[in-house]
Structure 1
Amino acid sequence: MSYFSARFAEGSLDPNKFDDRTNQFLSDKLVALDRDKAEFCYQICRALRARRIVEAGTSYGVSTLFLAAAVRENVRSYGGDGIVIGTEYEPEKAKAARANFTEAGLSEFIELREGDLRETLRDVGGPIDFVLVDIWTPLPRDCVPAPSSSVTTPRNSAPTTPTISPLSPILKIAFAP
């Protein structure tokens, strides 16, 4: 975090909009949920019988694998189809994520879209059961589709991106930095 501390100290960091310098710094960094948070998302998705999930900020695909595993088990248990629609801005991260999906045997449950999420999530093709916002900026507020239930939007981002739901107290504890 010394990069962010230094930028904050010099007064050149805008937490509401990352500049080119910050985007370049983050372009090769692993941004992922801790294992316990990813497992928590898996359990929520299983309990909800979620089969259509959106993830904003796939990075190298760590949390995507947990989401896809939940979708796979829900499809096996309850039938039908299922998909995790992930989005990643950095092409190299997307390439690595796809390799991880293949290695884990979960590719058939993941559609990874590359590019700006304002475009990649414009059409998700139907109702969403669960949304994971796993990026550091407040950008997705207006870009990410709302799930069919307001209790299913955990966020792994800056405090400027609030979570509003009946589960807010639990999610604040579970997703605290």
Structure 2
Amino acid sequence: MSLEQLLKNLEQLGLDNDDAQSERSKKYLNITRDTGEFLAVLIKATDAKTVLEVGTSNGYSTLWLTSSLPDGGHVFTIENNSRKIDEASENFRKAELDSKITQLDGDVVDLLSKLSPNIDFIFLDADRSQYLAIAKQLFGLLKEGGLLVCDNAVSHKEELEEFNAWIADQSNLSTSLVPVGKGELLVYKDRSTRSLS
């Protein structure tokens, strides 16, 4: 199966599943196709080689990220729902991209503490109530000149207010809100020596 066909299948599966499910944990809550295309262009434009994704779900967004990487590029993706981890693993195998992806299963705070810094690109699409608690860790991992993209920046603006306020207080972070999909907040880490507060 081609990557394009797999992506189309997962898009339809996501829509059908999420319409049928009332329990949030059973929904995929995937990004929109235009968000996937946007992320793919950003990965290429920033020449990212090491990507961290927080929130794998069934791997739809991971496939967009991974398929845009150069040879030798790698994605680390965090998820704590075992059913979604298994589904994502199967989708990565189908896309023949599994060798470029490391799935991390567990608590995001613990997992972030074990990752090496100087990550080129971070995609944040998980439990928004945790973002403020992990903000310092995330931007500590992101290299200077790196980019973090946060999904749902328009659709769930209120839930991101404290996280956005923290970012605004950091003198070495520059932002832009892009009205693609459910709203993408781009956060660039300036090349400076000032530490995060």
Letter in 1 for 2:182: A
SS at match of 1:84: strand
| Corresponding residue of 2:182 | 176
CA apart distance, 1:87: 0.5
| Corresponding residue of 2:194 | none
Unaligned runs of 5+ in 1: 1-23, 76-80
- Say whether the 8 Å CA contact 2:34–2:181 is kept in structure 1: no
CA apart distance, 1:142: 3.5
Stretches (4+) displaced over 6 A: none
| Corresponding residue of 2:125 | 134
- Say whether the 8 Å CA contact 2:117–2:143 is kept in structure 1: no
- Tell me: CA distance 1:51–1:151, structure 2 relative to 1, closer, same or farther (3 Å): closer
| Corresponding residue of 2:5 | none
Percent of paired sites with the same residue:
24
Letter in 1 for 2:176: S
| Corresponding residue of 2:149 | 154
Q: TM-score, normalised by structure 2?
A: 0.66
Q: What value does the CA root-mean-square deviation take over the aligned residues?
A: 2.2
- Structure 1: distance between partners of 2:104 and 2:63: 15
After superposition, what is the alpha-carbon deviation per residue over 1:111-146, rounded to whole angstroms, capped at 9, x for unaligned? 011112112222222311111111241313332522
- Structure 1: distance between partners of 2:86 and 2:150: 24
- Structure 2: distance between partners of 1:128 and 1:26: 30
- Structure 2: distance between partners of 1:120 and 1:29: 23
- Say whether the 8 Å CA contact 1:67–1:84 is kept in structure 2: yes
- Tell me: CA distance 1:174–1:167, structure 2 relative to 1, closer, same or farther (3 Å): farther
| Corresponding residue of 1:102 | 93
Q: TM-score, normalised by structure 1?
A: 0.73
- Tell me: CA distance 1:107–1:136, structure 2 relative to 1, closer, same or farther (3 Å): same
Letter in 1 for 2:33: R
